[in-house]
Every structure is written in structure tokens, then in C-alpha cells.
Amino acid sequence: MTPKDKQVVLMILGGWGITPAWSGNILNYLNTPHFHNLWKTFFHINIEPFPGKYSFCARQGSEISFANIGTGRINPDEGDQINEAIKSGVFLRHTGIQNAFRSTQGALHIVSLVDTRGKHSRLEHLAGLLIVARGFNVPKIFFHLGLMSGDDPNDRAYYELQKIIRMIEPFPNVEIASLFGSNFVLENDNKIKSIKILFNLLTRGHGLYFNQNFSEIFDRYYQKGGIDNTFPPSALNIDSKIIGRVNAGDTIIIANLKIDSIRPFVKIFDSPNIVGTPFDKKKLSNLKIYTFFNHGMGSKSISIFNRKTIPNPLSKVLSDNKLTQLKIAHIDKKFQIGYYFNGGNFEKYDNENRKVFPISRLDQNWLLGADEIYWDFKKAFLKRSHNFYLVSFSNADLLGHFGDMDIASKAIKKFDNIIGEIANITLERGADLIITADHGNAEEIIEKQTGEHKRYHTTNPVPFIFVSSKNLRPRAESLSLEGDIPPLYNSYTHASIAPTILDLFGLIKPSQMSDEGLITNELPIKNGVN
């Protein structure tokens, strides 16, 4: 059988960690019998999702997991790299940082989300920029801040904003000039209406106005039931004068870390006509736009730090061998299945197709839209339209963040049926199925110490299950057929998955992939015995 005759399916379950059954784990056997039967029946092992020294902030996203899976290597987290540069002093001396401060002919604008989890941005990075500012005679520095908070109602962005306010107190030339909710950035980066609102706020001051009495503003806003992510776009107004708009000759530093929180700002300043309203280009002439890293958007923005794309990720190797790929996911994994899985390469490879589906409201669809993903996958799979399928479901992660044990348990039961259906059709067609997860969450909805809702991703191991009707031998000795949970930690990571997939296709893995595959065709076994 040639590689073109084969079908391999990789199912990535968002927020599906492995831990012994307990009252705070909705992924127990009663709720997920199909998953547990697959675990008992087929080769399985625990994968450590965050090996090494990934910070708490790095673990709050799935980007690094998808990157490690797709490239077959353990990649550094960019936010952690910047933290190390600040601690070591490299940040202060870095040519890219210094060029950004030297480039401005007017004001310096720092655009950043205020993310309480530290996924999209970190206060340490803003503090580092202010330290650098001491050595440059920049007349005015303006912060334009997008407010973002997670699931905890007590974890409000205003608490982080207070830290920024204290941070800028020693700097008389620094002011907070704009505030807006993160939804205008993250959930609408392709919607012209939201881009237009951001553009008009930052350049013209359109929106609501605020003074510098932040405590009064936010007390009133929260009392009315307002949430950070939908905070109305607002501009600083002192004595009836709008302060801190972007003008010709200014410099902008976009201090966000993730591509979905960088792209909207790059778009509006790279191509201001995108907003659809007349705008005098002279008002933005000689404007310099800097980002921490180059995320391959083909824009005029300048990257401060060099970022090397991974030359031969799994998707490229498959494409180079004329194998077709279909990647399907919930829309929140849009960039994970593309940009991050492909090692920082933004464009699709030949024969690579991607589809994303909206997340349904839980009160309207217990499956949160996973049924649409499943039916689209099934239709393509039964037609044998592709060789490799990446199917990503966010259900467990979304339910873990939701936090209601009773509702989440009912919803995960329904989703477990989809896991069983995908396993059945892959077995019937003689295809290979790998089930894994990006990180944990739903296995610990409750804090064991306090009994309260746990609102962050866990560091628990995640599953690796190899579902196949073929006689294939597990390469790793600790791969097992029994139903017991293996030791919680071992040496296997997400980096083993891409080499495993290449082995299944009979392809040679590139040298950049650090780990060996977990399955081999060389020594067939029957009933788990050589």
C-alpha cells in the first residue's frame, strides 16, 4: 500500500486531561464510556503537554501544544523568551527595541491587551518597554489597552490596569489614552465594522470619553453589570481635548503575543482604506509599526525579535509527498490548526484544506457545534477525499471553563458519542486514528483544596490512543493495552505525534523532529503478544 492509499486521522480534544476519577472530573467513565473503552482496548500512553519550563501564562493557551504536535519538536514560548530577555538585560540592549524607540518622529504608542491570564500579553513586557523608554527622549508615550478577563468574575482586568497605572506614575510623559474591550479585537478580527471602530478610536478619538478617574469609571461600569471584554471603545479627554491619537511620524509597538490579537492592529494601520471610509493618507505618513515577532502576515510591520519558522513541519512533509490534508476545527482553533500547527507558516501548503465552524451556544446545542465538525469530517472521510485529517474539538475545554458540573457532565456525555462514532468509521475503513489533547481542563473543573470552580488549564498529562485494526507494534515499552491509567508523568510529549504519523504513512521524518514515532510496522503483534 502506498502513502496515497492510506488515511490517518488525528483527533485533538481541547481541554482533555488524564487524572484518576474524582468528583471534580467530568471525564469519568460514566460520562465518557466511548473514550474509556477505546483507552482500554487500544494502545495508549500519557503525553506530557508542557515539558520543561513553560510558565503559567504559556500554559493558558493551546498554541504551543499545536505547534509542538505539528512540528515534532518542543518549541519555546515567545512570551517566556521575552521574559528571559528582560531578566537578563538583553531586552534593554536589543537593537530591535532601540530602533523602535529611535524611529519615532512624534509620539510612541503601545497597543496591548490587558489579559489577566497573561496569554495574549504580559505586564512584564510593558514594564520592560518603560524601562527602555528611560534612555530615549520620546516626548509622549500613549498606552492603548484592550480589556480582557477570563472566567473568574473576581479576576477583572481593572486589577491589572491598576498595576499599569502604578507602573507609569514615575513617567510624566506616559498616559493611558484608549480603552476598549477585547471582543473588538479577538472575536471580530475579520469583521470590517469592528476594525473600523478600532481605527476611528485610535486615530480620531471616536467613541466614549474618559478622564483619569479610573476607579470611578470602573466602579460604575461593573455595578451596571459591564464585563471587560465588551468595554465600550473610549478615548482620553482632558479639558474637552482628546489626547493621544495616532498621527503622522508616530511609532506603534503592538505588544501582544498571539496572532489573533496582533493581526487586527496590523491590518488597520497597514491598509487604512480597509475601514471603508475616506481617510487622508498624509495623516498616517511615516508611521512605523513594530511587533515583537514576525508572524508571517506579509505586512509592512517590523519585527523586533527574529523568529525562525520551522522549515519542515508535518503539513509540509505531507504536501511535498503529494498527500492531501483536511483540517477541521471550532473557530477558536482557527490559527492553531494553521499557523501554529504549521510551524509559524501562515500560508497553506499545496493540497492542504482548512475549515472552521462556529461555537454554538450551550443553551441551544449541547454539542457546541461539534456535530457540524463531525458531519463535515465524515462526509469527506467516507469519500476518501484526503489522506490526512486533523479534527479538533474544543468541547471539553469550553465546558471546563463554563464550570457548571451538572450541565457540563450532560454535555460531555453527548460529545463522547462523537468520539465513538469517529473511532467506528475509521476502524470500518481500515484507517488509523490517533486521539490526543492539547492540555488539561475538564478533568479538574473543581479546585480540590477549595471546592471552587477551577478556571485555568491544568498541567496534567493528556492521552495518546492509537486506534487501528492493523497489527502494529508500540515502539515505546510503556504503551499498554490494559485499562489502568499509566504513571502520570513519563518522557513522552506532543513532539512524538508528528513522527508517528509520518511512520504510519511510511515517510522519513525530517531531522528537525526531535522525537521518534510511537508506532512501527516492523514487528507485528497479535493480541498484544510478540
Phi-psi region of 383 (alpha: psi -120 to 50; beta: other; left: phi over 0): alpha
Are the CB atoms for 496 and 518 separated by under 8 Å? yes
Q: Could you tell me where in the chain the CATH 3.40.720.10 domains are found?
A: 3-75+310-520
Q: Helix (H, G, I), strand (E, B), or coil: what is residue 214?
A: helix
Residues 98-118 have pLDDT tens digits of: 999 998 889 999 999 998 888
pTM confidence score: 0.91
Residue 487 has pLDDT above 70, yes or no: no
Predicted confidence band of residue 523 (pLDDT cuts 50, 70, 90): very low
Residue 488 has pLDDT above 70, yes or no: no
Distance from C-alpha of 139 to C-alpha of 172, rounded to nearest angstrom: 10
Q: What pLDDT is recorded for position 446?
A: 84
Q: What pLDDT is recorded for position 462?
A: 96
Residue 190 has pLDDT above 70, yes or no: no
Predicted confidence band of residue 297 (pLDDT cuts 50, 70, 90): low
The residue among 60, 172, 166 whose CA lies nearest residue 120 is: 60
More confident site: 281 or 424: 424
Residue 5 has pLDDT above 50, yes or no: yes
- Alpha carbon 433 to chain centroid distance? 24
* Strands (E) located in 277-405: 288-293, 302-305, 325-330, 352-357, 388-393
Distance from C-alpha of 61 to C-alpha of 73, rounded to nearest angstrom: 18
Predicted confidence band of residue 348 (pLDDT cuts 50, 70, 90): very high
Which residues are CB-contacts of 240 (< 8 A; sequence separation ≥ 6)? Answer: none
Q: What are phi and psi of 104, to 5 degrees?
A: -75, 135
Residues 422-471 have pLDDT tens digits of: 999 999 999 999 999 999 999 998 887 777 778 789 989 999 999 998 85
> Can you state the angle between helices 192-204 and 259-270, rounded to 10 degrees?
70
Cα–Cα separations (whole angstroms), residue 408 to 119, 222, 361, 367, 374? 24, 27, 13, 11, 20
Residue 269 has pLDDT above 90, yes or no: no
Average pLDDT over all residues of the chain: 88
Q: What pLDDT is recorded for position 66?
A: 97
CATH of domain 79-305: 3.40.1450.10
Q: What pLDDT is recorded for position 220?
A: 93
Arithmetic mean of pLDDT, 128-141: 92
Predicted confidence band of residue 521 (pLDDT cuts 50, 70, 90): low
Residues 157-169 have pLDDT tens digits of: 999 999 999 999 9
Q: What pLDDT is recorded for position 470?
A: 81
Arithmetic mean of pLDDT, 340-358: 94
Q: What pLDDT is recorded for position 279?
A: 60
Are the CB atoms for 367 and 418 separated by under 8 Å? yes
Residue 367 has pLDDT above 50, yes or no: yes
Would you identify the CATH topology of the domain 3-75+310-520? Alkaline Phosphatase, subunit A (3.40.720)
Residues 19-48 have pLDDT tens digits of: 877 778 899 989 999 999 999 889 898 999
Residue 484 has pLDDT above 50, yes or no: no
Residue 278 has pLDDT above 50, yes or no: yes
Which residues are CB-contacts of 219 (< 8 A; sequence separation ≥ 6)? Answer: none
Predicted confidence band of residue 82 (pLDDT cuts 50, 70, 90): very high
- Alpha carbon 431 to chain centroid distance? 29
Residue 307 has pLDDT above 90, yes or no: no
Residue 188 has pLDDT above 50, yes or no: no
Residue 527 has pLDDT above 50, yes or no: no
Q: Could you tell me where in the chain the CATH 3.40.1450.10 domains are found?
A: 79-305
